[in-house]
Amino acid sequence: MDCVVLYDFLRYITPGDISVSVRPGLGNPEKCSIFVQEKIKNRHIKMKFNVAGKALQQQLTAVSKVINSKNALSILDNFLFTVKGNELTITGSDQENTISAKVEISESDSDGSIAILAKRMLDIFKEVSNQPVTFYINEETLEIDIKFLTGHFNFSGINAAEYPRQTEMESDSAKLTVPASMIQKGIENTIFAVATDTIRPVMTGIYFDIHNEDITFVSSDTHKLVKYVNKESAPQMERSFILPSKPANILRALISKEDADIVITMDSKKATFYFGNFSLTSKYILGNYPAYNRVFPENNPFLLTVDRASLLNAMRRVSLFASAASSLVRLNIQPNEVMLSAQDLDYATSAEERVNCEYEGNSMTIGFNALYMIEVLNNLKSDSVLVKLSDPARPGLFVPQEQGEGEETLVLLMPMQVIE
């Protein structure tokens, strides 16, 4: 047995007052004793803590949602681990958005921080998530040793000082506490209409228009416009910002039914959402959002009431034979039925389907893009839908027949030209 082997044995003994004895024939006792004691001394410069593998895996997976597959800064390929007391904070960032998640730990020896490659941690805890683990982290050498029931992993981390730090909130920041369901519903009802084309950046996010009595969530890709108003809680302030679609999707995924409230801190450049064991900070999309209320027509007197699922399923079937270039589906609306039709002249194919309805107004034929209409019908949360129309050249307004208390959803869909 040489000194290195002896140290490898002793490294798993909790450092303390350890006396090292070396039997004759195992090398120079004095030099070996000094070697081992020096190694043990170095291991005092460390963080040591225990954590449940499953709990840690859940938080790692949540934080990883913000990390890009390719980062301009290689340090952003890492999680930042920060230990303070009996709490571990895991941070991930893509420079524009930052998530922090907390997990309870035990038997923590000291506070500290280190950056660890995200992919490596995710891979490790896919395999050992069902058991407790112990971390040994040497902040001087950056050596990390993760011990589990039947073995251990040993690798190196990165100095935490290299990880980008968040800027503090501005002194005039505002704070708002609202039910978590209010934010979740707002995102769920509008995210589908967010633009993916970056020509107009302000359209690539959800507009939070905060009023004294409600929060209005708005999104548009110029083909469809969604306005969702929630009066579940009265913010008692006037504020607005544009939240990018990436953090909006992350928020929707992480908010759980157990989260009672969300605390939102806002300044002129960013907002931080605090909920459960998480915090999410996102920079706004800068710019002025269009005056959305002016876009909604005030007078659409013709009312079409139809079963949402029947119209949705018919639209899916008929759209199979629509032109790939336009996805145009015609709706010929009569007092008791609406006839859906589509054709593709290039392939000499066509389809028709009849859906029962109730209609008050002049008979008309109006065209819609099938893909957009399917999106709209998919995201309305009611059994029946009311479509308000005026003429084939003007937008249609889609309203769910049944709306939650204190909620109002309105979707505008632009028509397409129908050539008879």
Q: How many residues does the chain have?
A: 420
Print the domain residue range for 21.
3-43
pLDDT at residue 336, rounded to an integer: 93
pLDDT at residue 388, rounded to an integer: 97
In tens digits, the chain (420 residues) has pLDDT values of 455 555 555 554 444 434 444 444 455 656 565 555 555 545 545 789 999 999 999 999 999 999 999 999 999 999 999 999 999 999 999 999 999 999 999 999 899 999 999 999 999 999 988 899 999 999 889 999 999 999 999 999 999 999 999 889 999 999 999 999 999 999 999 999 999 988 999 999 999 999 999 999 999 999 999 999 999 999 999 999 999 999 999 999 999 767 789 999 999 999 999 999 999 999 999 999 999 999 999 899 999 999 999 999 999 999 999 999 999 999 999 999 999 999 998 899 999 999 999 999 999 999 999 999 999 999 998 999 999 999 999 999 999 999 989 999 999 999 999 876
- Among the candidates 266, 292, 318, a domain finishes at 292
DSSP secondary structure code for residue 156 in this structure: E
Same domain, 318 and 271: no
pLDDT at residue 45, rounded to an integer: 53
Strand 278-283: give its sheet, edge to edge: 112-117, 78-84, 87-93, 97-104, 278-283, 270-275, 261-266, 174-179
Same domain, 390 and 346: yes
Give the tokens for residue 288: 């002025």
Same domain, 304 and 354: yes
Strands 396-400 and 384-389, how do they pair? Answer: antiparallel
pLDDT at residue 259, rounded to an integer: 73
- Per the structure, the count of domains in the chain is 4
Residue 235 lies in a domain: yes
Residue 167 lies in a domain: no
- Among the candidates 267, 292, 317, a domain finishes at 292
Calculate Rg over the CA atoms of the chain: 30
pLDDT at residue 237, rounded to an integer: 95
- Among the candidates 292, 323, 357, a domain finishes at 292
Is there a contact between 416 and 369 (Cβ–Cβ < 8 Å)? yes
**How many angstroms from the chain centroid is the CA of residue 221?**
20
* CATH value at residue 377: 3.10.150.10
